[in-house]
Amino acid sequence: MNDTQDINEKEGRIEDEKSNGSENSEQEQATEPTGQKRDIAAEYLDALQRERASFINYKRRAEQERSETVQYATTNLVKKLLPVVDDFDRALAAIPETERENNRWVEGIELIARKLHTLLEQEGIEPIEAMGQPFDPNLHEAVAFEDNTEGGNANHIDTVSDVFAKGYKMRDRVIRPAMVKVSRG
C-alpha cells in the first residue's frame, strides 16, 4: 500500500503544481497585459477614429463630385441651347413695330422666348452685362477693335462698344463669354 499511497501523493502534488502554475500564469496574464491591453485599445480606437474621418471625407467628396457632375451636365445642355436663345432674340429684334401690335403669332413667339429666359434664370444662368462696360477678358471675347478718337474714358481705356453675341454665366462660372467690339481710347 505504501507504493500506491506514494503514487497517489505524487499525482496529487503534480496536480497541485499544475493548478498553482496555471493560477500564477493567469494572474500574471491578468496583471501584466493590462497596460498592453490599454495600448492596444487606444491603438484600435485611434484607427477607428481615422477610418471614420476618412469615411466622412469620402462621403463629402462623393457628394461634391455628384453635384459637379450634375452641374457639368446642365452646363453642357445650356451651351447647346444658347444658340437657340440667340436666334429667338435676333428674330424678335427683327420684327417691325407695326407687326408687333395685335399679332397673336408674334405674342406667342415672345412668350416662348420669355419662357426660355425664365428657364435659364431658374437654373442659375444669367446674361453677362457687356455694353459700355470695361473690357474684361474673363467675361468678354474681343472679336473686333475700334479706335476712339474722342479720347474715351481716362479710367477705362478699353470699353465694350458693341455686343455681337451675349455672354452667359452660371453662378460665378462663365459658360460662354460675350463676343464684343472693343473701343480703344
**Cα 144 from Cα 32, distance rounded (Å):** 85
Reported as a single tens digit per residue, the pLDDT across 103-159 is 898 889 899 999 999 999 998 899 999 998 898 889 999 998 888 766 545 554 788
Q: Of 6-20, 25-39, 117-131, which gets the smallest average pLDDT?
A: 6-20
Query: What pLDDT score was predicted for residue 73?
Result: 82
With respect to residue 163, please indicate whether it lies within any of the assigned structural domains.
Answer: yes
With respect to residue 171, please indicate whether it lies within any of the assigned structural domains.
Answer: yes
With respect to residue 161, please indicate whether it lies within any of the assigned structural domains.
Answer: yes
C-beta separation of 120 from 159 below 8 A: no
- 141: domain CATH number is 2.30.22.10
| Residue 176 pLDDT > 90 | yes
With respect to residue 14, please indicate whether it lies within any of the assigned structural domains.
Answer: no
With respect to residue 135, please indicate whether it lies within any of the assigned structural domains.
Answer: yes
> In the predicted model, what is the mean pLDDT of the chain?
82
With respect to residue 118, please indicate whether it lies within any of the assigned structural domains.
Answer: no
DSSP string, the chain: -HHHHHHHHHHHHHHHHHHHHHHHHHHHHHHSHHHHHHHHHHHHHHHHHHHHHHHHHHHHHHHHHHHHHHHHHHHHHHHHHHHHHHHHHHHHHHS-HHHHTT-HHHHHHHHHHHHHHHHHHHTTEEEEP-TTSBP-TTTEEEEEEEE-TT---SS-SEEEEEEEE-EEEETTEEEEPEEEEEEE-
**Cα 42 from Cα 23, distance rounded (Å):** 28
How many domains would you assign to the chain?
1
Give the domain range for residue 182.
127-185
With respect to residue 179, please indicate whether it lies within any of the assigned structural domains.
Answer: yes
The grid coordinates listed for 157 are 481705356
Query: What pLDDT score was predicted for residue 75?
Result: 86
Tell me what the mean pLDDT of segment 90-107 comes to. 87
With respect to residue 180, please indicate whether it lies within any of the assigned structural domains.
Answer: yes
| Residue 9 pLDDT > 60 | yes
Confidence band, pLDDT 50/70/90 cuts, at residue 20: low
| Residue 98 pLDDT > 90 | no
Query: 120 pairs with which residues across the strands?
Result: none
Query: What pLDDT score was predicted for residue 33?
Result: 63
